[in-house]
């Protein structure tokens, strides 16, 4: 039985480094108290697993990373940002289904 990859938490310098390394990065802004965030958490884990080697999927705790959230103009959660080559290329705000996230990733992989 293979182990599934899960989206890990990132913050501060580690998050900045991930975004700037040039690869495709999915950043899920979340909080422990956010109900809709808990609903998309398994979708982020599924993305991390299915796109292993193609994209890095991380979670950012909004309460512990207020400066970073402000930097990217996060106004509500869940908000999922997709970065490519250090630049934000897509944003999904609010509760979404798996297809919305995977379609956004597929679009970037084709570009």
Domain ranges of the chain: 8-106
Provide the CATH number for the domain formed by 8-106 in this structure. Answer: 3.40.30.10
**Cα separation, 75 vs 78, whole angstroms:** 9
Query: Which pLDDT value is given to residue 69?
Result: 92
Mean pLDDT of 83-96: 95
Query: Which pLDDT value is given to residue 12?
Result: 84
Query: Which pLDDT value is given to residue 3?
Result: 63
pTM of the model: 0.93
CB atoms within 10 A of CB 55: 19
Residues involved in catalysis = 34, 37
Mean pLDDT of 65-90: 95
């Amino acid at each position: 039985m293979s182990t599934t990859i899960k989206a890990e938490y990132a913050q501060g310098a580690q998050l900045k480094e991930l975004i700037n390394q040039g690869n495709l990065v999915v950043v899920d802004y979340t909080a422990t108290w956010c109900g809709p965030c808990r609903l998309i958490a398994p979708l982020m884990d599924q993305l991390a697993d299915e796109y292993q080697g193609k994209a890095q999927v991380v979670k950012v705790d909004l309460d512990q990373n207020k400066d970073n959230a402000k930097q990217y103009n996060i106004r509500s959660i869940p908000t999922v940002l997709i970065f490519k080559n250090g630049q934000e290329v897509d944003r999904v705000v609010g509760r979404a289904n798996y297809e919305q996230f995977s379609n956004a990733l597929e679009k970037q992989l084709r570009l």
